[in-house]
Amino acid sequence: MQANQNSISSEQKWIPDGFHFLGPEESKNRRLLLQKFAEVFERFGFSEITLPSFDYTSSFESFLEPGEGGLLKAKDWDGNELSPGVDLTLQVVKGMAARSHWEENQRVYYIAKKIRDHKKRNASRREILQIGAESLGASSNSELLNHIQILKTVWSEATDSVPVSFVFGHSELFSKIVKIVNWNETQSKSLKQFLYTKNIPELLSLAARLGISERDIKILRLFLSPIDFFDFTSFQKDLSQLLDEKDRVKIDSSLDTLNDFAEQIKKFDPNLNCIWDPSLVRDVSYYTGILFQGFQKNNPEPVFAGGVYDHLYESFSGISKQASGFALHVDPIEELVLNKK
């Protein structure tokens, strides 16, 4: 009997690394937690939708930044390449765009798993449970503030008010600055990486090798300096002083949007921990305006993320429609709840 047990392969004995089996008690706790989340979303006027497990690989590859794939792939009977959901926002917008002729609630939420392979071995999670919300037809600052309210409510009720920080950026502003400093596509990719990782020595070394002007280096340094979001006007002033009138005109609308949003959040909750990080970028290319991530203390991975993506709906339907939303990772919340017991 023992010899037979030893002959069983690891594939038969173990769940694949990065995927997780939940027993009866864990499953019960998850169901209760998700029900609590769902009640909050419905209280804010969102309706539940259900996402498919797989989609065409090309849909994901069209919006993932180069080198950020991590896509698991299979083929259907017709030879089309398929992948499990790696970006659920994309699937929501795509699915709702296909039903553009339906008269349905355009504020929706979902509970689904995101699956992405990792470049490094023994990654702790390849399968991530998310609950997310999308507002199709709305991406104003008021709508984003509504998303912040939902996130604050969900996080507070689920974790018993464990502190969390909101980090804000702006995709369009970042792209405009890249054009102003006149870096090509390859250089911009390096720029994004160095800014995102706050790798100042490598960034300045690259700038020196490329003969970047002193003014542009000052701009890059400014983008490497996160500040309190409620002090956004100081960033606005410092950046404006480094630009000529022509370049200031290019970014005025983005700066005005951010300034207004900071004021709205301050009125909503002056004690909210908000950080302005102008170098915040994401691994998907569809963001067009304000974007944000949420972090809990001593956890380098974001526990939620969202923002504005005004052209995503149109890319699937040909119909212009604003859109915004966010996704919350359930796993870190479960760990917080478990640690409190």
Digit-coded pLDDT (tens) for 175-211: 888 888 877 667 767 776 776 677 778 777 877 777 7
pLDDT at position 69: 54
Kindly give, in sequence order, each residue whose CB lies less than 8 Å from that of residue 287, ignoring residues fewer than 6 positions away.
171, 307, 308, 309
Digit-coded pLDDT (tens) for 55-92: 999 998 888 866 555 788 899 999 999 999 989 999 99
Alpha carbons 208 and 220: distance in angstroms, whole number:
12
pLDDT at position 5: 54
pLDDT at position 62: 87
Sort 304 into a burial class: Cβ within 10 Å, 0-12 / 13-18 / 19+: buried
Identify the residue whose tokens are 């004021």: 263
pLDDT at position 126: 82
Alpha carbons 277 and 273: distance in angstroms, whole number:
13
User: Hey, how many other C-beta atoms are within 10 angstroms of the C-beta on 180?
Assistant: 19
Of 164, 146, 165, 151, nearest to 274 by C-alpha is 165
pLDDT at position 119: 56
pLDDT at position 27: 94
- pLDDT below 70 — which residues of the chain? 1-7, 10, 65-69, 118-125, 184-185, 188, 192, 195-196, 339-341
